[in-house]
Structure 1
Amino acid sequence: MNYRVLFNSIIGLAGMSLCLTVMAGSERYSHGPSDRADEHMKLIGTVAEIHDSLMPGVLITIDSGSKKFTTTSDEFGSYEFSGIPGGVYHITTEKPGFYDLRRASFVLERGKTTKMNLVLLQQFISIALALDGSGAKYRASTLPAPKYEILYPSSPKDSALEFLVRFTTRRASRSVITYRNAELSYDALSIYADRLIVDRKTLHVRAEGNVTIDNGSQRRKFNGAEAEFSVGESQLKIAKTF
C-alpha cells in the first residue's frame, strides 16, 4: 500500500471538511443580506398621503448598506419588492410635492412576506395664482418639514432595530418626550397620532388624538392607544386602545 498517497488523501479530505465547516459557520452568523436563492424574500405594501388617498408614482428605495433596490408604486398606490435577500433594511421614498419619508429599520425574514404601508406628508397646503402690476405670480403655502429622532431599545451596537419618530415639535422632561403630529415606527409597525408620549427608559408609548395603528396587514383608527416594548421578544406590542 502506498501510505504517502493515503496520507495525502486523508489530509485533503480533512482540509475540505474544515473549509466547509468554516463557510457554514460564517454564513450562519452573517447579519447581512443572503444571496442564497432559497432565502430571497418579498416586501409589499401601499403608499398613501396623510388623508389615506393612495399614491401612484412614488419612488421607493430599500437599502441594507451593501445592497440597494428601487421600485415605483403602481396606479393603485401599491408596491412590491420580490427576490430580495433577507436581512435588515431601511426604506425611503421620493415624490415631488411631498417630503421624503424615512422609516425605522426592519427585518426581511426567511420564508416570509413582509407588509409595510407608507404615509407621506405634503410639502404644500395650497398654490395660488396672484396677478399684480408685474404679472402673474405663484404663491405657495407650505407645511413645516418633519424632523426625525432615533430611540434605541438597547445600546446601538447591541440592537439591529431602532425606534424612529417623525414629528413637527417635541418637548422633553427627564426621560419622557412628547412629540406633536408624530409617527413612531418600529420594524413594520407604525403609530400615528396628534401627540405621542414616549418614555425613553421603559419605551412605553402613549398615543393621543387621531390615532392610527398600522401593522402592514391592518390599518385601524382610535382615540388613543398605549404600547409597550418587550425586550425578551424585541417587539413593540399594543397594550390597549381606547
Structure 2
Amino acid sequence: MFTATPAELEIIALSIKIACWCLLINLIPATLTAYFLARKEFWGKTLVETLIYLPLVLPPVVPGYVLLMLFGNQGVLGQHLARFGVELAFNWKGAVLASAVMGFPLMVQSARLAFEMVDQRLEWVAKSLGASTLATFFKITLPLSASGIFIGAILGFCRSLGEFGATITFVGNVAGETRTLPLAMYSLLQQADSDTAIMRLMSFSVVVAFIALFISQRHHRKQKRKLGA
C-alpha cells in the first residue's frame, strides 16, 4: 500500500522541485519587503500592505486568473515573453510563479513580525559606534530576526506543496509537467478504485508538512531560550 509507483514518485519529485524553486525565488524579496515594511513609514503604506496580503484572503482562483491574463500565451506580458522563448502558462515554471505569488505574503508577514520584535536601540547603538546601515542589518538585525525568517520560509514551502487553485487555473493539470500533489489527488478523486493511491499521496503530504512545521516550532523554541524569553 505504501510503496509509491513511478508515476507517484514523479509527482512527488515535481512538487518538491516547485516548492524549492518557490522558496528560492521568494526568500530574498520577501525578507527585504518585510524589513522595509517593518522599518519605514511612507505615504500609501496601507495600500502596499493590502496588495501584498491580498492573495491570502482571495479565492486562489482569482490570483491564478490574473496570472493567466498577464502571463498566458495571449496575455498582456505573456505574448511578449513568448518572443524570447519564455512561456509560463501550462508548464512547471508557471506553477512556480503561482506558488510564489500565493506563498509570498506568508513569508513577508512572518519576517516582518520578526523584524518588528528586534529592539531598535541595538541598531541605534551599532550605528552610533560607526557601523553602516548595511553592516547593522547583517550583523544585528538579520541574526536576531533569523528565526522568524526561517519559520516564514517553512510556511512558504508548505504553502507551495499545498497550492491548488491558482496553479490549476494558470497552468492546468498536465501530467508530468504541472500535476503536483494536490492536483494529482484531485484527479484521482475522479477515478474509480483510487483510494489506495490517494492515501499514499496524502500520507506523504501530511508527513512532509508535519516534519517541516515541527522543525520550525522546535527552532523557534530554541531561539526563545537563547534570548531568555
What TM-score range do you get, normalising by the shorter chain?
A: under 0.3
Larger strand share, 1 or 2? 1
TM-score (norm 2): 0.24
User: Greater RCO between the two (CA within 8 Å, min separation 6)?
Assistant: 2
Superposition TM-score, scaled by structure 1 size: 0.23
- Radius of gyration: which is bigger? 1
